[in-house]
Structures are given as structure tokens and as C-alpha cells.
């Protein structure tokens, strides 16, 4: 896969990801829901070395949403951009909503479904996990 580009709503911050994204997930945790104002955040991870800011890096703000995760967003429009992780400093997370063009991957699962919005019903047949895949004793496949 070639380069992937993205930008914030006001277009002040623009970035590029060289190469492919890692696995894509729909995250239903309460922090992602609040950060995006939606039922879930569709997100992927990739290596930090693949990422570069093209413009607007001086327009970034950040918020440490936990001891491990820092979320970066545009200071002007508030668009969510990337997440960094203290326990995995070589990895970045990104919300797919800001990406442009065709992304070849598709979501592989729903994460943190135990804290999903009560008003949202998952209607696809993707696997559902109560946390990160591989960190729970069983994967749940349910139809709400």
C-alpha cells in the first residue's frame, strides 16, 4: 500500500502515513466514545516511523486521558488526530475518520463491548471483545 494522508476538519493539521495500517477495530470504550461523540471510534495502529506531520504540528494540543495514553487534537477545530502510548512508544493510534482516500483494510472486531453505548446495537457479525484481543479469556460473538 502507498501513502495514506489525513487532516483535521479545518485542514490546519495535515499528516501522512507511509505504508500499511495495522489491524482496524471499532472501539466502544467510554473514552473513545466521548472523544469522538459517537457510538464508537474506528481506529488502527502503525509504527511511529511511518508517520509525519505535513503541516500544522504547531497547532496541536494534547490530553493525557490515562497514565498510558496521550491523545492529540487540533487546537483550532478540536479534531482527534493521533494517540501515543507510554508502554509502546514506537506505536501510534489513529482514528480512521480523518484519513482520505481508499483504505484497503476493514474493521476486524469490536473492542470494549462491555462499555458500549446502551443506545447502540451492534448488528454486524464481527467478533466482539470485552477488551483488547488476546487479553481476555474468551471472545464473545453475540447479537444484541
Average of pLDDT values for 111-116?
94
Inform me whether the pLDDT recorded for 141 exceeds 50: no
Separation of CA 8 from chain center: 14
Q: Do residues 65 and 31 lie in contact, with contact meaning Cβ atoms separated by under 8 Å? A: yes
> Domain tally for the chain?
1
Note whether residue 143 is domain-resident.
no
Note whether residue 108 is domain-resident.
yes
Inform me whether the pLDDT recorded for 127 exceeds 50: yes
Which H or E element spans position 62? strand 60-64
| Nearest alpha-carbon partner for 113 in 97, 101, 126 | 126
- At 143, list the grid cell: 447479537
Note whether residue 135 is domain-resident.
no
Domain range for 36 is 4-115
Q: Please report, for residues 1, 39, 99, 111, 138, the alpha-carbon distance to residue 118 in angstroms, rounded to integers and kept in the order given.
A: 37, 9, 28, 15, 22
**Mean pLDDT, rounded, of the chain:** 89
Q: How confident is the model at residue 134 (pLDDT cuts 50, 70, 90)?
A: low
Q: What is the spatial distance between Cα 141 and Cα 143, in angstroms, rounded to a whole number?
A: 7
Note whether residue 134 is domain-resident.
no
Note whether residue 21 is domain-resident.
yes
Inform me whether the pLDDT recorded for 61 exceeds 70: yes
Note whether residue 41 is domain-resident.
yes
Here the CATH number for the domain that contains residue 99 is 2.170.150.70
Note whether residue 47 is domain-resident.
yes
Q: What is the spatial distance between Cα 67 and Cα 64, in angstroms, rounded to a whole number?
A: 7
The pLDDT tens digits for 20-36 are 999 999 999 998 899 88
Inform me whether the pLDDT recorded for 104 exceeds 90: no
Q: How far apart are the first and last CA of the chain?
A: 36
Q: pTM for the whole thing?
A: 0.84
Note whether residue 144 is domain-resident.
no
Amino acid at each position: 500500500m502507498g501513502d495514506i494522508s489525513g487532516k483535521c476538519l479545518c485542514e490546519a493539521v495535515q499528516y501522512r502515513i507511509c505504508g500499511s495500517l495495522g489491524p482496524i477495530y471499532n472501539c466502544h470504550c467510554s473514552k473513545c466514545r466521548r472523544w469522538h461523540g459517537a457510538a464508537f471510534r474506528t481506529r488502527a495502529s502503525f509504527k511511529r516511523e511511518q508517520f509525519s506531520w505535513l503541516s500544522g504540528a504547531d497547532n496541536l494540543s494534547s490530553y493525557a486521558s490515562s497514565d498510558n495514553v496521550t491523545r492529540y487534537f487540533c487546537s483550532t477545530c478540536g479534531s482527534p488526530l493521533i494517540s501515543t502510548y507510554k508502554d509502546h512508544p514506537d506505536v501510534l493510534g489513529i482514528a480512521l475518520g480523518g484519513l482520505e482516500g481508499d483504505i484497503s483494510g476493514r474493521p476486524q472486531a469490536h473492542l470494549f463491548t462491555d462499555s458500549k453505548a446502551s443506545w447502540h446495537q451492534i448488528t454486524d457479525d464481527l467478533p466482539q471483545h470485552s477488551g483488547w484481543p488476546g487479553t481476555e479469556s474468551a471472545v464473545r460473538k453475540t447479537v444484541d
